[in-house]
Amino acid sequence: MKGDEGVDRGRHAPPGAPHLPVPAGGPRRSPAAGVARARVLIRPARPDDLLDATRLERRVWGKLSATLNELQRRLFALPEAFLLAELQRAGRPSRIVALTNGILWTRDFPRSYMEYERMLPSASHNPRGDVLYLVSLGVDPELRGRGIGLRLLLETLEVGRRRHLKLARLIANQRARPLCQRAGFDAVRPLPRLFRQHRDLMPQPILMEHWLF
């Protein structure tokens, strides 16, 4: 799965937080203080969110980002597993700052992850599957390291439990692996041949799983 702090697509340690501008004569405020006064709401995505979700995907994942049409298909396939983090601050418009989405697999799919890399994730959705595959996790680079990605992961695991699924699965990169472990995922095996053309985005891809019962 792609990630926050960096997972994927079967796709994250965040950079230092930028300083906020300091008003003339005013005290310096840290970004953390500003976010502390804000509310981050985790909620299901709606069709009218998808344009903003696509823009966020592009910021996080660049060449590996999903298109608007692909996100539409994922939302249609498994809407309850398409979650957004919405930053709400008094006097300012709310904005989407993180997302995750998933599809269903059977436990014997895919036989080859190289084969999976060549298809759109939504094309591998199997409504009869008992594995929740987390396709993408992305957090706005300016807000990484504040626990938003972990909240999204944990809430998505609850979606799997409510559907009585057996297993959650994702592909993390080297940066996202600690985040996924905090959410309870275990490393299964490295996938060194995967995403060879995108090592800047997916360094050391590794398959991770979390049993849901």
Checking if the pLDDT of 5 tops 70, the result is no
For the chain, the average pLDDT equals 86
Residues, the chain, total?
A: 213
Q: Return the residue matching tokens 């998933």.
A: 102
Q: Tens of pLDDT along 124-168?
A: 999 999 999 999 999 999 999 999 999 999 999 999 999 999 999
Checking if the pLDDT of 90 tops 80, the result is yes
Domain ranges of the chain: 7-14+33-211
Instruction: Give me the CATH topology for the region 7-14+33-211.
Output: Aminopeptidase (3.40.630)
Q: What is the mean pLDDT of residues 36-44?
A: 88
Burial environment of residue 19 by CB neighbours within 10 A (0 to 12, 13 to 18, 19 or more): exposed
| pTM of the model as a whole | 0.83
Least confident of 31-35, 42-46, 109-113, 204-208: 31-35
Nearest in space to 138 (alpha carbons), one of 169, 107, 179, 110: 179
pLDDT given for residue 85 in this prediction: 98
